[in-house]
Amino acid sequence: MTLAKPTLLVSRRQTLRVLGAFAMTGAVAACAGRPDDVAKSETDPAVAPVEAPSPATIARYQAIQDHGYTIQAVNPGYLTGSNARALVYYNGSEQPGHIVIDPYARRLYLVLENGMAIRYGCAVGKQGKTFSGDGVIERKVQWPSWRPTQNMIETEPEKYGDYADGVEGGPENPLGARALYLYRNGRDTYYRIHGTNNPSTIGRATSAGCIRLFDQDIIDLYNRVPRGTQVHVRTPDESAMMIGPLRPGFDGYVTPVNDPDQKVTGPLADQILDNSETATDVAVASATQALSAQQPQLTPAATGQPKKVY
């Protein structure tokens, strides 16, 4: 079965939908976007056949009610490749409960016990590649609000003037349903992991923003990680070591030449993916232990050498 990615039309009413990723009120524009930054990614002029997502995957992205808001179902055309949440074998040195972001392969990993991780597809803006190394999640916000900085308003009043009073949290807010804020040495890095009101961007590079996930996925991740969670953002060299060389795909996607991520499927995998328990939860650990006997011998894709510890 094949599935073609859908085509969407852009209208003036979608301005907020294409703002990208933003910082909270008073923050610098490290996670800010422009109304036209991702408009091109809302249309899909190139239609290519792709493998259809499984029924279990589609079920994870149905419409949901959250704090009085409706989060729309994700079109299955956006759930292909590595975009959808998946359980994978993981060959990293990070401890269970840590988050690893690969902004070059556009993947985020929540490390579990027994050599596994939950992988989430993400969209990455330019600011998503300006930070690397380690950080800590110090703030977690549900349905975050956003206001452009004064400098943004003064520099581009035609684009940001209408939002000078801020945008309340809700389905039209570019930060989506949740936001996780990274700090380093007690200071805000202005690097965010958050949702999106434009699911067509997931898996793509955009001209602005940090790290955005489907709203269904940022809610899942938000529920799994507490404040104090350690986050590592890979450098280009680390990405090349762990994922290997990347090749451009259609419509701005990238795919590894030899993808090292091997999915784990079946009832136990679904149990882990469908229940937003913490990475070190006893039930999650028990399920990964039962699955670990199936784990193949993994080596990083690019070199076949043991992973560099960072």
Of 31, 98, 122, 210, the catalytic one is 210
Are 251 and 4 a contacting pair, CB within 8 Å?
no
Q: Which of 31, 98, 194, 232 is catalytic?
A: 194
Beta strand ranges found along 143-286 (DSSP E): 178-184, 187-194, 211-212, 230-233, 246-248, 254-256
Listed in sequence order, the DSSP H helices in the chain are: 55-59, 150-155, 157-160, 215-224, 236-242, 267-274, 282-292
Measured CA to CA in angstroms, residue 177 lies from 1, 159, 170, 191, 235 at distances of 32, 23, 7, 17, 28
**The residue to which tokens 């709203």 are assigned:** 215
User: At a CB cut-off of 8 Å and minimum separation 6, what does 47 contact?
Assistant: 4, 5, 7
Question: In the annotation, is 210 catalytic?
Answer: yes
194 is catalytic: yes
Catalytic residues: 194, 210
